[in-house]
Structure 1
Amino acid sequence: MAEIDPTDRDALVALLDGEIEPDTGEAIIARLGGDAALRDQFARLERSGQGIRPAFDFLLDTAPIERLDAILDRAIADQAPPRAPVQEPVRRKPWPLFRIALAPVLTAVIAGIAGIWIGYAVLGAPSSGPPETWREAVAEYWRLTTPDTLAIEPTADHAARQLQLAAERLGLPLAMQNVALPDASFRGATIFDFAGRPLAQIAYLNRDGEPIAFCLITDPNKRETPPTAIVVDGFNVVHWASGGFARMLIGRVPEETLKRYAALLIDNAG
């Protein structure tokens, strides 16, 4: 995919966040019709699930009929072939012409809006803010994980290097013998970021083909919390905290299984 100018990317983010200046917003909307790379970037930002409602608010608040009509005038003027002057040009009614001479720039914008509205109708409106807790953030992306995501088991060397990187970022010793789980095969360790803190995810696939994750994050409050079972976004979760780190197990597996795994991890990895 072609890279776009960082200024354009910032403008798209501001548009989706509802924080863009009206003139800048109208300009970036007008360009969406003829710039494929810009449309691709806009679509990727839309699919991130954040800021769609503010973008609607911006379009509705700052693009009344007069402004849309002006954009349509310019688009038609740029694309229409030259024509002979006439003695008495007939003045077009501003907005009704949209129905019969819709310019590509507005077609793209309106199609995008329609797609968002369909997404609202089918999936519901996205959250207006970031996840409330790190456990909710994990559940939000873990629901995208399938057995195919974890189908390839890393080699022993690759697994050791992944765990070493996670240990370095967290500042916590991690080794395969400390994080191994019965009836579940290790499928990789990955480092994420949550609110400026490293978040390590150790993934497993149990013998029934169900993905499970053991996640760790630094805990600035240094709380001591015993294993606690909750449900987050449809997943069973067991979480606990000790030694300056918060931990959790998540998966669509029985609560008792996660509690058994948590007891093993507390003994072996803290």
Structure 2
Amino acid sequence: MADRTFTDEELVAFLDGEEDHAPAAAIREALKEDAVLRQRLDALQIDKQAISDGFAALLAQDRPAPVLPETPASRGYGLGSLALVASLALAIGLSSGAYLTRAPQPGWLAYVAAYQALYSTETLSHIQQDETAQQVELDRVAVAIGKMLTPAELDMLPGAEYKRAQVLSFNGKPLIQLTFLTEGGDPLALCIIRSNKGRSPQPELSQMEGMSAAVWGRDGYEYLLIGGQDDAQISRYAEVLSTADV
């Protein structure tokens, strides 16, 4: 059976043991002879310990609970109680950064940055794919995003090794993630989504979730390169990618 008949979603469900959502028997049979399929499964295997460590780091950044104002118990349910309710609402509002208003929903850049914050060196270091397996992944990505890519086009960042491609989604819109690992162990991601916002083709540098990042747009797509804390490195890589046919 051809490798590409299995979607990423089916393979992830298979890895998670959710056999009601995956053609498990067909996948097991194909694995006996299909080396490319085995490489795809290896690439989709998530380092659960790395994700657990990432969540622990994020939880450690949580803000402390607000200190509630003290009021005499003898006030009952009169004006003192109303003041307590108002003070509590103010304390909660200020501690969360929003006072009685609904916080705006973050866009795709914020979601990708939060996802990338969970990556560690170990998330990508075990992934080893030959050029054939890489091209199979990139062909699948091309169908989702409408952009043809080759391993050679992604092997252009000095000191960074291309690792894998996967298809994500934001608000029902395909979003692709191309990952790299630097010689220093920094996991990087180049994410691409269709967009007509008219973002500048010149990379704009910023910090997202404590990581260096660059954003630019070209030919109906938006790009985000993110990872590590080396602004100069991200700037160099963004310059290379933004001027190449990626």
Shorter-chain TM-score range: 0.5 to 0.7
Of 116, 124, 127 in structure 2, the residue corresponding to residue 150 of structure 1 is 124
Indicate the SS of the match to 2:242. Answer: helix
What is the Cα-based RMSD across aligned positions, in Å?
Answer: 2.9
Matches within 5 A, 1:33-182: 132-151=106-125, 152-180=127-155, 181-182=157-158
Of 163, 177, 194 in structure 2, the residue corresponding to residue 187 of structure 1 is 163
Q: Provide, for residues 15-57 of structure 1, a one-character-per-residue CA deviation record: whole Å limited to 9, x for no partner.
A: xxxxxxxxxxxxxxxxxxxxxxxxxxxxxxxx9x9xxxxxxxx
Which amino acid is the alignment partner of residue 205 of structure 1? L
Deviation at 1:254, TM superposition (A): 1.2
Which amino acid is the alignment partner of residue 144 of structure 1? L
Indicate the SS of the match to 2:178. Answer: strand
Deviation at 1:129, TM superposition (A): 6.9
**Number of residue-to-residue matches in the alignment:** 152
Deviation at 1:134, TM superposition (A): 1.0
Deviation at 1:202, TM superposition (A): 0.5
CA distance in 2, matches of 1:203, 1:2: 25
Tell me which residue corresponds to 2:173: 197
Which amino acid is the alignment partner of residue 242 of structure 2? I
Deviation at 1:144, TM superposition (A): 1.2
Of 239, 242, 249 in structure 1, the residue corresponding to residue 215 of structure 2 is 239
Tell me which residue corresponds to 2:92: none
Unaligned regions of 5+ residues in structure 1, if any?
4-46, 50-123
Contact 1:162 1:190 in 2 (8 A): yes
CA distance in 2, matches of 1:140, 1:130: 16
CA distance in 2, matches of 1:197, 1:220: 13
Contact 2:206 2:213 in 1 (8 A): yes
CA distance in 1, matches of 2:105, 2:212: 18
CA distance in 1, matches of 2:17, 2:166: 27
Q: 1:185 to 1:201 in 2, by over 3 A?
A: same
Matched, 1:217 2:190: no
Deviation at 1:241, TM superposition (A): 0.4
CA distance in 1, matches of 2:116, 2:172: 20
Deviation at 1:224, TM superposition (A): 3.8
Deviation at 1:222, TM superposition (A): 4.5
Q: 1:267 to 1:2 in 2, by over 3 A?
A: closer
Unaligned regions of 5+ residues in structure 2, if any?
1-15, 19-54, 59-94
Q: 1:2 to 1:239 in 2, by over 3 A?
A: closer
Deviation at 1:268, TM superposition (A): 2.0
Deviation at 1:131, TM superposition (A): 5.1
Which amino acid is the alignment partner of residue 203 of structure 2? P
Deviation at 1:262, TM superposition (A): 1.1
Tell me which residue corresponds to 2:203: 227
Of 231, 235, 241 in structure 2, the residue corresponding to residue 259 of structure 1 is 235
State the TM-score, normalizing by the size of structure 1: 0.51
Which amino acid is the alignment partner of residue 248 of structure 1? L
Contact 1:223 1:244 in 2 (8 A): no
CA distance in 2, matches of 1:171, 1:237: 24
Q: Provide, for residues 152-206 of structure 1, a one-character-per-residue CA deviation record: whole Å limited to 9, x for no partner.
A: 2222211111111112211112112222221111110011001121111100110
Which amino acid is the alignment partner of residue 141 of structure 1? Y
